[in-house]
Structure 1
Amino acid sequence: MKWTLAAALLPADRLLDVARTAEEAGYSSVAMPDSVFFPEKVSAKYPYTKDGSRFWSPETEFIDPFVAIPAMAAVTTRLMFHTNVYKLPLRDPLLTAKHVASIAVMSGNRFAFGVGLSWIPEEFSFTRTDMRTRGARTDEAIDILKLVCAGNGPEWVEYHGTHYDFDRLMISPAPDRPVPIYVGGHSEPALRRTARVGDGWISVNTTPDKIVAACERLHELRASYGRADEPFDIIAGPVGNVSRDDYRRLEEAGVTECQAAPWWQYGADFRDPAALRDATLRFADEVIAQY
C-alpha cells in the first residue's frame, strides 16, 4: 500500500512545505484538487454531503493544479503528483494536453492526470461549455490526451471525433513515458469509463465499505472489457474511524494507494505551519510506518 497526502483546501503558501514534508515522511504522492471558481448561487446540490451544501467557504484557496504541481515538483525529487480531480469537460482538450505534457516532462514523469466531470451547472454555463455532452466530450478528451502523452516523445497525432476534430499536429515537449490517466467518480457511467479507458480510479472521500463495493464493480467491468490483466491503480479516500483492518481490507479489494489529510483527522489548524507539519509526520508515524 502507498499513501497520498490530499492537499485540498490548504492555503497556497503552505503547499511547498507540505510537499517537502510529505517526501521526508515517506508519502508516495500529493493530490491536488481543481476548482475554477465559487458560484454564489448553485442550481444543483453538492453530491457528497447529506444536505447537498458545500462545506468550504467562497474564500477557500484552490490554486490551479497546473501551477501548484510544477512548483511542488521543483522542491522535491521523488514525490509523485496527481490531480483529484481535474474538471476535464470545462477545458479544451488540446490546451489541456499541452499542460499535461509539459508538467510530465518538467517533473521527470512524476505526474498522473486524474479527471472528472463536475457537478456544478454554473461552471458549464459560465465557461460556455455544454453540460449535456460532458460525458461524451470527456471520453474524446481522454483519447486525445492518450495520443499526445503516449510516452513516445513528440509525434504527429490527429483526431476526428464527434466533438473534437483536428488534423495532424505535434505538441512538444511530450513525455517519454505514458502519463497515467485516472478517472474519478462512483456512478455507473464513471466506473464504466474507468474500466474502459482509465489507467486507474480515484474514489471520493467515503467509507471503506463503499470503496470496497466500487472496487468489486470495477473488477467486473474491467474483466468485461478484457482489461483484467492490465496494470491498474486504485486510489481510495477512506474516511471515518479507519482502522488497520480497514486498510488491509481495502488493499485486498485492490486499492493500491490511500489518501489522507491528517490535519482533519487530528483536528490540527492547517493554517499553522507547525501544526500542519506535525499532523503530516504524526500520520506517517502512527499509520504509514506501522502499516
Structure 2
Amino acid sequence: MKWSLAGAMIDALDLCELAQVAEEVGFDSISLSDSVFYPEHVSAPYPYSPDGKRMWAPEAPMPDPFIAMTAMAAVTKRIRFYTNVLKLPLRDPLLTAKQLSTMAVMSGNRIAVGVGLSWIPEEFAFTRTDMRTRGARTDEAIEIIKAVCAGRGPEWVEFHGKHYDFDRLMISPAPDRALPVYVGGHSEAGLRRAARLGDGWLSVNTEIDELTAAITRLGELRAEYGRSDEPFEINASPTGIRDVDDYRALAELGVTEVRVSPWHLYGADFTDAQARLDAVRRFSDEVVNAKS
C-alpha cells in the first residue's frame, strides 16, 4: 500500500520543504486541493459537514494546485503529485490538458489529476460556467484529457461531444506514459463516473464502514462496465484509525493508497510549519516504515 500526504490549506511558501521532507521519509505522493476563491455568501450547504457549513476560514491558503505541484516537482526527484480534487467543470478541458501534459513531461511522469464537480453555485456563476451540465461536461473533459495525455507522446486527437467539439489537433509536449485520472465522490453518479472513466477513485474523509460500502459498489460497477480486469487505484482518507493494524486492514479491503494529515493525527499546531514536518517524520517512523 502506498502513502499520500494531504497538502490542503498549507501556506504556499511551506509546500516545497514539505515535499522534500515527505520524499525523504518515504511518502509516495502529495495531494493538493482546489479552490478558486472563497465566496462570502454561498447558496448551497457544504455536503461534508453535519451543519452544512464550510470548515475553513476565508483566508485559508489555497494555492493553485497546478502551480504548487510544478514548484514541488522541481525540488524533488521521486514523489508524485495529484489533485484532490480539481474542480474540472470550471475549466476548459483543452487548456487543462495542455497544462497537465506539460507538467507530466517536465516532472518525469510524476503528475496525476483527481477530478470532481464542485458543489458551490457561486463558483459556476462567477466563472461563467454552467452548473446544470457539470456532470456531463466533466465526463467529456475526462475523455479529452485522457486522449491528449494517453502516453504516446504528441499525437493528433479530435473530440466531438455534446458540450465540447474540436477537429484534429496536436498538443506538445505530451507524456510518454498515460497520465492517471482519478475521480472523487461518494454519490452513485460519482462512483459510476470513477468506474466507467477513471483510473482510480478518491474518497473524502470517512469511516471504514462507508469506505467498505463504496469500494464494494465500485467493484460492482466496474464489472458492469467490463473493467474488472483493468488496474484501478483506491485512494482513501480514513477516519477512526487506531493503529498500524487498522491500516493493514484497509489494504485487505482493497485500498491501494492512504491519504493522511499527520499533524491532525498527533494534535500538532496546523499553522506551525516545524510542527507539521515533525509530524510527518513521526508518522513515517511509526506507520509508513513500521516493521511487521
TM-score (norm 2): 0.98
State the 1:100 CA deviation. Answer: 0.6
Partner of 2:163: 163
Partner of 1:88: 88
The residue type paired with residue 151 of structure 1 is G
**2-structure distance, mates of 1:242, 1:215:** 21
**2-structure distance, mates of 1:74, 1:15:** 12
The residue type paired with residue 170 of structure 2 is M
Partner of 2:181: 181
Partner of 1:286: 286
Contact 1:84 1:115 in 2 (8 A): yes
Alpha-carbon RMSD across the aligned residues, in angstroms, is 1.0
Q: How does 1:218-237 map to 2 (within 5 A)?
A: 218-237=218-237
Q: How does 1:44-83 map to 2 (within 5 A)?
A: 44-83=44-83
Partner of 1:267: 267
Structure 1 unaligned segments of length 5 or more: list them. none
Percent same amino acid among aligned pairs?
66
State the 1:287 CA deviation. Answer: 1.3
Partner of 1:102: 102
Please give the secondary structure, in 2, of the residue aligned with 1:179. coil
Q: How many residues align?
A: 291
**2-structure distance, mates of 1:241, 1:220:** 26
Contact 2:79 2:110 in 1 (8 A): yes
The residue type paired with residue 65 of structure 1 is P
The residue type paired with residue 140 of structure 2 is E
Please give the secondary structure, in 2, of the residue aligned with 1:67. helix
Contact 1:216 1:253 in 2 (8 A): no
Please give the secondary structure, in 1, of the residue aligned with 2:246. helix
Partner of 2:121: 121
1:222-264 Cα distance to aligned partner (Å, 9 max, x none): 0111111101111000123443332222211211000010111
1:21-78 Cα distance to aligned partner (Å, 9 max, x none): 1001100000000000000000111011100100100001100011000100011100
TM-score (norm 1): 0.98
Flag as ranges the 4+ runs of structure 1 deviating above 4 A: none
**2-structure distance, mates of 1:204, 1:167:** 37
The residue type paired with residue 184 of structure 1 is G
**2-structure distance, mates of 1:49, 1:174:** 39
